[in-house]
Amino acid sequence: MKLDMPENFIQDIITEDLKEGKNGGKVQTRFPPEPNGYLHIGHAKSICLNFGLAEANGGLCNLRFDDTNPTKEDIEYVESIKEDVRWLGFDWDDRCYYASDYFDRLYEFAIQLIKAGKAYVCDLSPQEIKEYRGTLTEPGKESPYRNRSVEENLDLFRRMRAGEFPDGSRTLRAKIDMASPNLNMRDPVLYRIVHAPHHRTGDKWCIYPMYDFAHPLSDALEQITHSICTLEFADHRPLYDWIIENVDFSDVGPIKPKQIEFARLNLSHTVMSKRKLRLLVERGYVSGWDDPRMPTIAGLRRRGYTPEAIRNFCERIGVARRNSVVDIAFLEHCVREDLNRRAPRIMAVLRPLRVVIDNYPEGQVEWLEAENNPENPDMGTRRVPFSKVLYIEREDFMEDPPKKFFRLAPGREVRLKNAYIIKCDRVVKDQRTGQVTELHCTYDPETKSGSPGAGRKVKVTIHWVSAAHAIEAEVRLYDHLFRSENPDELEDFIADLNPNSLERLTSCMVEPSITGASAGNRYQFLRQGYFCVDPDSSAGKLVFNRIVTLRDEWAKMAGSSDK
RNA sequence: UGGGGCGUAGCCAAGCGGAAAGGCAAGGGACUUUGGAUCCCUGAUUCGUAGGUUCGAAUCCUACCGCCCCAGCCA
């Protein structure tokens, strides 16, 4: 996987380190997800960064599951995470690690700290620890258990491990500084007692290391040179460094990992926290983690996004320390750009309006040639059937058109893509509702595409499908999940859900060349957007997801003031 | 009122003492058998504010203002 990483401040740091000969010229990164939820596009940014930086600097990136909290993690998530990282196009070879694989060594490191008088077993309850911690503006108080002897600490810690004490009754704490202005340094908990089975280590442990202890040491064990994480961990860096400096792991290697923080990705019109995404899934606001409206990798994949588009997006948004909200329009731009080059064109009528070509011979069928992708002639051509009765898009006809409407109207002409110019002669309406039910048109036989007479200009070209040959399909149209640009800052983000984020059209008509399409296939429906075959499709019925619309000048005009 | 971060166009984002990159969005035009694509053009006399240093400041200094994060035995 080759990423064209633009320069960023982390690359600057790496470049500087390399110049100074740090770490023997080695660059080693890691992507460390906690298996407690599905990956989303924010993780994609981190994945691209970690794998990209490693690759750009001749190094490697490990996949490491940060699974130190058995009560929140599950094997289901590790499988989905692996699938998503792989799908994005990254390869960790045989370097898939688990913090839980290090539990034995981490335990030894803890013993080491105890022996050095730098950690102690504390009997304070969770509530007491909180009270002793102090506040943002006042220093904390030292635990009465802070100065136990090394022997007693060793004994107690071994018994913690042996399961002699109930959950919450004791912890192992680092002995640092209860008066530190950085709360993370006020004797942070290193180990807690949790009598819960772990998805990988089973019942072997009843004490589990905290992130602040496990993470720097896992990095050390893997000899990570640059440990990249998000901004909220900046306050933890002094603790990260304290662990690295106070634990002796020189037998594993000389590299002392350094933590570097960057701003996580926020996307407009969606939420990114696992908690909120889980809520959407659990309360049924979406169909699942892979609902095509979700910003999860699984959701984007099902929607039809390509890994290339997502990677390109991640590379182009930049890496900085400033909190920001990237406009989702930029993500959409990235897929359009990718799909414009790759997606074959086909004609599909989403909201059919029947058109009868009065002067076209009954029963005649012409198979007309159509380009598969004007951007790429190598993609070849196909034949589409033309006959007397067609469907066109309801939106492509207006009985009383406004000034800028160039499409079909009584007495007006349009070109049918790859076919003929037709003229609208008569409008048939439902007597009761007044709804237009059918158009009668005449075609100009001289204007067949490719023929000498085809040069005649009309204002616009529309798509169509032969009624007798059309394949009926369901099409799901998606819009932003939330109405607000930044639902995250709302008191009640659920109330901001876009009621129109999904529209299902069940009687769409697609040209017959679609026959045989399978889940995951992507197409451009001419003039409408990019669509992807959904796994819900069955032999009898295709289901499409709209990935993204095409840019639409007319929609912009129509959407504004005078329609 | 403690500590840690961050303020460059509507949204991202380069810039690191010597005349404010680029992308998205927006607007205008050319072209077009997709109102698609493509191609042109239009934006900051100014970088949160105010002072200061300097021949010269978005870049250095000072003060102020604003926003984000931290008081889980979560990560």
pLDDT in tens, A263-301: 999 999 999 999 999 999 999 999 999 999 999 999 999
Q: A507-539: per-residue pLDDT in tens?
A: 999 999 999 999 999 999 999 999 999 999 998
Which nucleotide minimizes the distance between its C1' and the CA of A558?
B35
How many angstroms is C1' of B31 away from CA of A281? Answer: 47
A227 touches strand B (CB under 7 A): no
pLDDT digit string (tens) for A389-409?
999 999 999 999 999 999 999
pLDDT at A255 over 80: yes
**How many angstroms separate the CA of A499 from the C1' of B43?**
36
Q: Which nucleotides of B are covered by protein (CB under 7 A)?
A: 1-8, 10-16, 22-27, 33-38, 67-75
For residue A421, pLDDT beyond 90: yes
Q: What is the pLDDT of residue A3?
A: 43
- pLDDT given for residue A558 in this prediction: 86
- Count of positions (residues) in chain A: 563
0.95 surpassed by complex ipTM: yes
Tell me which residue has tokens 């960064």.
A49
% helix / strand / coil in chain A, to the nearest 5?
35, 25, 45
How far apart are the C-alpha atoms of A290 and A520, rounded to whole Å?
14
Q: Which residues contact residue A261 at a Cβ distance below 8 angstroms, ignoring those fewer than 6 apart?
A: A228, A229, A230, A231, A233, A234, A237, A321
Cα distance between residue A501 and residue A511, in whole Å: 27
Helices (H), A293-423: 297-303, 307-316, 328-342
Quick: pLDDT tens for A21-53: 999 999 999 999 999 999 999 999 999 999 999
Give the strand order in the sheet containing A60-65.
Answer: A28-31, A60-65, A96-98
Q: Quote the CA–CA distance of A441 and A427 in Å, as a whole number.
A: 9
Given this model, what pLDDT does residue A476 score?
98
Read off the pLDDT band of A559 (50, 70, 90). Answer: confident
Distance measured from the CA of protein residue A460 to the C1' of nucleotide B64, in angstroms: 60
Work out if A127's Cβ lies within 7 angstroms of strand B.
Answer: no
At A87-106, the pLDDT tens digits run: 999 999 999 999 999 999 99
Among residues A167, A545, A132, A118, which one has the least CA distance to residue A339?
A545
Give residue numbers, 386 to 405 of A, with CB < 7 Å from strand B. 404-405
Hits for CB < 7 Å against strand B across A residues 338-397:
340, 345, 373-375
Contact A168, A193 (CB under 8 A): yes
Which nucleotide comes closest to A127 if you measure CA to C1'? Answer: B73
Give the model's pLDDT for residue A5: 53
